[in-house]
Structure 1
Amino acid sequence: MPKLTDTQSIILSRAATRPDNLAMPLPEGLAGAAAKMAVAKMIERGWLEEVEANLRRGDPRWRETGDGHGTTLIATEAGLAVIGIEPVVATTMTNLRKAKLDLASTAKEPAETSPDADTPQPVAIRAGTKQAQIIALLQRPEGASITEIVEATGWLPHSARGLISGGLKKKLGLPITAQKVAGRGTVYKLEAA
């Protein structure tokens, strides 16, 4: 695992907790040449990516590209992996972000400028947690039944169902499907976006 500076660690950790893994705004006190140098190194290592800022949604700008357009910074899968967020989870969050951007670009009405309190916000998931383990089980082609999740985690069935409906569907907004399968019961799957 590469050694991170305190600044790099702070930038990636904050990005992991923000919607769409936004790395902006940068930590207070990091500006000018120091900010450019820190960001350039992180982009070079593949930890950050410069993408077009959605000004209607109010994305903070990293730099202006002209004609009122600008770019912002997001943490990449590699950047999240460096701070311990499992690649499977990072891939899911990245795919969901890209799907949201595709939907927003094809929508006829502009996106809302203020986030709705009922809208689930992406949340960083630490590597090695049971939540990350369950997400990995649900991403398998065959999905996972409650019995399989209970065996893998040691939880009671109602706890596993609660995490799926409350934690993964509502809080994280993950597209989880449920289907009854003979011999396995209800099988939950997390389809790749």
Structure 2
Amino acid sequence: MPKLTDTQTIILSAAAQRADNLAMPLPKGLHGAAAKKVITMMIGRGWLEEVDADLRKGEPLWRETGDGHGTTLVATDAGLLATGLEPVVVKTMAAIRTHAAQPPAPKRPTPRAGTKQAQIITLLQRPEGATIAEIVAATGWQAHSARGMIAGALKKKLGLPITSEKVDGRGTVHRLNAS
């Protein structure tokens, strides 16, 4: 194992604890010519690598490239091995941290039984589907309310796969696909 300075150890250890093994930001007090010297040497030894910074993710910049883009620093597998860490373990831990930081997927709402919404879903599930006029007759609603229920509550909120097609003699027929 190569001999690392305290600064190199701090940089690589911090990178091992960050998602995607980012070596940025550098430790406090390390800037200017000293930072450039340390980083240049670490890149030369293959411990760090300059990669394009993803500004949408808010990755910190190491340097600007002059075309409105910039680069950031990432610890390589060789850099992680230099600190005595196995790259596979570091990548696994980074994946666990990233997964744990993500909020759980929102629970999809389910329609209550016996409501007008449930009646409409039942009408739409029939093989022949349902027209707005049939939904209005079953619920006593206005036509615009029935269309709003289909577009808003059923399609958007519940995410149901409802299709519409023009049928001769019936008009527009809405169906809830069984997928």
TM-score, scaled relative to structure 2: 0.51
Tell me the equivalent position of 1:63.
Answer: 63
Q: Deviations over 1:59-109 (max 9, x none)?
A: 000000022200000000000011111244357689x8xxxxxxxxxxxxx
Three-state SS of the structure 2 residue aligned to 1:30 is: coil
For residues 17 and 87 of structure 1, what CA distance do their matches in structure 2 show? 12
Superposition RMSD in Å: 2.4
Q: What does 1:98-137 align with in structure 2 at a 5 Å threshold?
A: 116-118=102-104
1:78 and 2:85 matched = no
Partner AA of 1:74 in structure 2: V
**1:47 equivalent in structure 2:** 47
Name the CA distance, whole Å, in 2 between partners of 1:73 and 1:54: 12
SS in 2 for 1:26: coil
Off by >2 Å, runs of 4+ in structure 1 = 87-94, 115-119
CA shift in 2, pair 1:93/1:46, >3 Å: farther
User: What does residue 10 of structure 2 align with?
Assistant: 10
Conserved 8 A contact 1:50-1:72: yes
Q: Shift of the alpha carbon at 1:117? A: 4.3
Q: Secondary structure at the match of 2:41?
A: helix
1:81·1:90 contact (CA, 8 Å) conserved in 2? no
For the pair shown, the structure with the greater C-alpha radius of gyration is 2
Given residue 32 of structure 1, which amino acid in structure 2 is its aligned partner?
G
| 2:46 and 2:79 in contact (8 A); partners too | yes
Judged with a 3 Å threshold, the aligned counterparts in structure 2 of structure 1 residues 32 and 118 are, in CA distance, closer, same or farther, namely farther
Shift in Å at residue 57 of structure 1? 0.6
- Aligned AA (1:4): L
Question: Unaligned 5+ residue runs, structure 1?
Answer: 97-114, 120-193
Query: Separation in 2 of the partners of 1:79 and 1:5?
Result: 13
Aligned-partner Cα distance in 1 for 2:23–2:6: 15
Amino acid at match of 2:79: G
Give the secondary structure class of the aligned counterpart of 1:50. strand
In the alignment, structure 1 residue 30 sits paired with structure 2 residue 30: yes
TM-score in terms of structure 1 length: 0.47
Aligned pair in 2 of structure 1 residues 28, 53: CA closer, same or farther (>3 Å)? Answer: same
Against the structure 1 CA distance between its residues 93 and 69, is the aligned structure 2 distance closer, same or farther, given a 3 Å change threshold?
farther
